Amino acid sequence: MARCSVCGAPAVAYIRYQKRYMCRDHYLEFVESKVERAILRHRLVRRGQRVLAAVSGGKDSSTLLAVLSRLSGKLGFELVALYIHLGIYDYSEKSREASLRLARQLNVPLIVFDLKEVLGAGIPELARASKRPPCSVCGMVKRYVINAAAVELAADAVALGHNADDIAVYNLKSFLNQDLEAISKLGVRTESIPGVAVGRIRPLYYVYEKESFLYSLLAGLPFLHEECPFVDRRQMEVELKETVNQLEDKRPGLKLQMVSKLAKRVEDYPKPGGSIGRCPSCGLLSSGGECSFCRVTRRALGRPMGPVVREWFRRRA
Ligand code: SF4
Ligand code: ZN
Ligand code: ZN
């Protein structure tokens, strides 16, 4: 039986790129120290700050919330979780349940924002009314709601559960499309713009997807194993993910090298052009004119809903 390279106890994990076996406790410590190092190296959070962690009920956000809640005492920051109920049938019900159980288990305050309750429409209705694919509307809605929540709750940073695999795949996809501005947004952190946008941080930047999954399992965290019914398995990301995994098999540590190099060079990529302005309807970040959220909700529901979302969070601040 393989033994932990640190303490000699029975091993439950093998980290190929480090050629090390690990027992449960040392494995959990390994992932937590990766996140802690990322926070310290990139100054993601400072003592006394408030972090809003976006959770979806999936494995990555479970790992994110669990590791941040462990580190919040040591590093002295406040942690609040946000779950957005997207109104995607049974999937949303189950993911809400998983998020509630996770927050209870970790003793982290959780805010549940229900799209249907607040806007009168979930993602399927918004997608139908705006004639856009569900994932495109969903991504935009989540970005908007998370930022509105962070602004109203006076958070200093929004923590997202993107792992090293996600970053490596987006990076490759953006490179293939020569979308250098998209690469410029793939750093470990983005800066806040006072009053209109709260900076995003990616504490799992150096954590592999497999590592995040195993952490959730070994730490006994509740998470939803099911995928959203709108996931498109034919997407380019899925094929790129397989390719990156094949390369990782041949060259253990390749993903880590990819994200580490990106973190160092991301500042050199051209930033999106255009002026940064305020949406005339809701007052939050817009790249010109009304923001996408206000535009889409105006078209689908008859009025821009940004102010309604902001007010909902303001009452909970
Ligand atoms: Fe939203 Fe698409 Fe993800 Fe489903 S798969 S949660 S619709 S982005
Ligand atoms: Zn050990
Ligand atoms: Zn707006």
ipTM score above 0.90: yes
Report CA(236)–ligand 3 centroid distance (Å). 30
**9 assigned to some structural domain:** no
Contact 228 CB / ligand 1 (< 6 Å): yes
Domain of 173, CATH number, reads 3.40.50.620
What are the respective helix, strand and coil percentages of the chain, to the nearest 5? Answer: 50, 10, 35
In terms of C-beta distances under 8 Å and separation of at least 24 residues, what long-range contacts does 187-195 make, across chains too? 187/262, 187/263, 187/266, 187/267, 188/38, 188/42, 188/44, 188/263, 189/42, 189/44, 189/157, 192/156, 192/157, 193/276, 193/285, 195/151, 195/283
**26 assigned to some structural domain:** no
Residues across the chain: 317
Report CA(65)–ligand 1 centroid distance (Å). 20
The 10s digit of each residue's pLDDT in 299-315 is: 999 999 999 999 999 99
Question: Residue 177: which domain range?
Answer: 32-226+237-314
**215 assigned to some structural domain:** yes
H and E: helices and strands count for the chain = 13, 9
How confident is the prediction along the chain (317 residues), in pLDDT tens digits per residue? 899 999 999 999 999 999 999 999 999 999 999 999 999 999 999 999 999 999 999 999 999 999 999 999 999 999 999 999 999 999 999 999 999 999 999 999 999 999 999 999 999 999 999 999 999 999 999 999 999 999 999 999 999 999 999 999 999 999 999 999 999 999 999 999 999 999 999 999 999 999 999 999 999 999 999 999 998 877 888 999 999 999 999 999 999 999 999 999 998 988 876 667 899 999 999 988 999 999 999 999 999 999 999 999 999 88
**23 assigned to some structural domain:** no
Contact 89 CB / ligand 1 (< 6 Å): no
Query: What's the number of domains the chain is made of?
Result: 1
Ligand 1 atom nearest to 227, measured from its CA: 5
The 10s digit of each residue's pLDDT in 104-128 is: 999 999 999 999 999 999 999 999 9
**310 assigned to some structural domain:** yes
Report CA(162)–ligand 3 centroid distance (Å). 25
**13 assigned to some structural domain:** no
Report the alpha-carbon distance of residue 177 to residue 163 in Å, rounded. Answer: 21
Report CA(316)–ligand 2 centroid distance (Å). 43
φ, ψ of residue 157 to 5 degrees: the values are -155, 150
**231 assigned to some structural domain:** no
Which residue among 166, 231, 233, 237 is best mutated to probe the pocket of ligand 1, counting the most ligand atoms within 8 A of its Cβ?
231
In terms of C-beta distances under 8 Å and separation of at least 24 residues, what long-range contacts does 140-144 make, across chains too? 140/292, 140/293, 140/296, 141/84, 141/86, 141/115, 141/293, 141/296, 142/54, 142/84, 142/86, 144/284, 144/291, 144/292, 144/293, 144/306, 144/309
Q: What tokens were used for 125?
A: 């209705």
**10 assigned to some structural domain:** no
